[in-house]
Amino acid sequence: MELYDHIIAETRARLSGMTARRWDYDETSAWRDMGASELVLLRDAAFELGGSGKPSANFTCVTTDERLVPRDEVLLCGRDLTELQGDVPFARLAFLLSDGIGDDEAAYQAIRDMEFVKYHVFPEGYMVRVSSESNREQVRVSRRALARGVSFRAVGAAYIRGFHKNPHVRRAQLIFVTDDGAAVAELARTAKKVDGVTRTLTRILEGIPADCGSCSLKPVCDEVEGMRELHFGMRRKEAAT
């Protein structure tokens, strides 16, 4: 699965110019998961990541290239939760190394399952609101969680633990970006591209005709290595059966 590789590589290159803190994944450091969505009332909140209309972005990319996700780890570009004093721009990215899930419908379903983890991690005192239309992720952090020492390391570990419940995930890299509004706005544009890849994949698997000349998805296929091969490969397979 190489469809997201160029996005991962470009994003990593872009973030390499920022100072980052890095932690190897340690399951014992994972923040407590409530198992279900928890309401953090405004009066109990210390701040909101991506709140007050500040830029926010969220996306997940899957690859089978080991070099792109060398280990389970959490990266933070910007200030940590206990260092923040108010609402800030915010991005959370997940890069997942999967096993050889192939390029067919099963692969697509596996990708969707991996993506859905973001709706099933509920760190205590860390209320996440995700908008799949705008790719925004806004998080209300409670004062209580801050007093208990919540950190991106611990929240990132909770996400990695969640991703590892999916048997297709071999490694997960979680990246948090705070403060830098321009970088987050750029990541929001990248999130749209990721969405474009996933939507194109969906349409191909729905069985649209393989006619690039009249296809509205051509801009995505022109940019994404492997997409065209995927579609024509599927057509060849169908013709052979």
- Does the protein bind ligand SF4 through residue 217 (CB under 6 A)? yes
- Does the protein bind ligand SF4 through residue 147 (CB under 6 A)? no
Total residues in contact with ligand SF4, by rule CB under 6 A:
12
- Does the protein bind ligand SF4 through residue 236 (CB under 6 A)? no
Residue closer to ligand SF4, measured from CB, 133 or 211: 211
Question: 84, 47 in Cβ contact below 8 A?
Answer: yes
The number of C-alpha atoms within 13 Å of 147 and in the hemisphere containing its C-beta is 6
Question: 196, 138 in Cβ contact below 8 A?
Answer: no
Span near ligand SF4 by CB under 6 A; candidates 74-82, 98-106, 135-143, 227-235: 227-235
Cβ neighbours for 115, distance < 8 A, ≥ 6 positions apart: 60, 198
Span near ligand SF4 by CB under 6 A; candidates 5-13, 48-56, 71-79, 207-215: 207-215
From the CB of 104, what's the least distance to ligand SF4, in Å?
15
Whole-number Cα distances in Å, 30 to 18, 123, 127 = 25, 9, 16
- Does the protein bind ligand SF4 through residue 228 (CB under 6 A)? yes
Question: 180, 81 in Cβ contact below 8 A?
Answer: no
Could you list the residues that contact ligand SF4 (CB under 6 A)?
200, 204, 210-212, 215, 217-218, 221, 227-228, 231
